[in-house]
Amino acid sequence: MERDDILYALMNVEDFPTLPQVVMQVISVCEDEKSDANDLARIVSHDQSISSRILKLSNSAYYGYLKKVNTISKAVTILGFDTIKSLAISASVFDMFKKIKSNYNFDRVQYWIHSIGVASISRMIGRTLNQSRQQLEVIFMGGLLHDIGKLFFESYYLSKYEDVMKEITVNRCTILEGELKVFGVGHPEVGGRLTERWHFPDDLIAAIMYHHDLKSCPAELRQLTCIVHVADHLCRAHNIGSGGDSMPHPIDPLALETLGIPDTGVADLSDRVPDLKEQIFTFLTIMD
């Protein structure tokens, strides 16, 4: 199968998955400085899937609010616009691919545990780097969707992705190496092209497209990409979910240099990962 055929399909197939209209409205309201909590609550209230997850999240130990939250308006006030936006996008992507038949050799539950793990670790790294609350949600989304290209392959090229799984087992290679051999293109580029079609911000697209190839990432977009790269390594090191293969994924020194993290800082970050596991599985429960 040719790389160009897959990339053409990504950009031109009409029945290709798109973000629901309600999610586009949520994004629009969140980015409009004139909007308030009532505007956002009114929109999400029309979508049962999103609104139920918002209530679950606001009532979870994840946020630790002492009183029960019964209304969307209150939940919006507690969670904030940026969290609502990332939750709406997360929920729509989760539901989008949940409807599509899965490859029995590709464990979607383990995929999502890994993705949520990378997202949570990415946000932890972002906090360490004193990123703003708004940027922390972008960082979380970068981690959550960094492997979205795998879901595209597994959902739309079911039988061929079986060949990728065989390639990993027989030749003990990474999932990216298997994809490149079978398809001529890997999940980072596919995920990047997909999120381009969804009109995501440039730094988010770059994190998805270049998290395995930092040197190719434009320097001005590299910080988020490096955060996700380090988080992916730590998530694999702690066996949180599955990235699709069991091969080593060492940290590129460029990531540490870009982020200003010393070698000893990686061990410090790693020591904090076990504390995130409850959050990771709480978020998975909310999504499912």
What CATH number is attached to the domain comprising 204? 1.10.3210.10
Q: In 179-203, which positions are buried (b, 16+ CB within 10 angstroms) versus exposed (e)?
A: bbebbebbbbbbbbbbbebbebeeb
- pLDDT score at 237: 96
Give me the domain span that covers residue 50. 3-287
Q: Tell me: the pLDDT tens digits for 73-105?
A: 999 998 999 999 999 999 999 888 887 766 667
What is the tally of structural domains in the chain? 1
Query: Could you tell me the CA-to-CA distances from 203 to 51, 73, 174, 195 in Å, in that order?
Result: 28, 30, 25, 11
Q: Tell me: the pLDDT tens digits for 96-144?
A: 888 776 666 778 889 999 999 999 999 999 999 999 988 999 999 999 9
Check residue 252 and report its DSSP letter. Answer: P
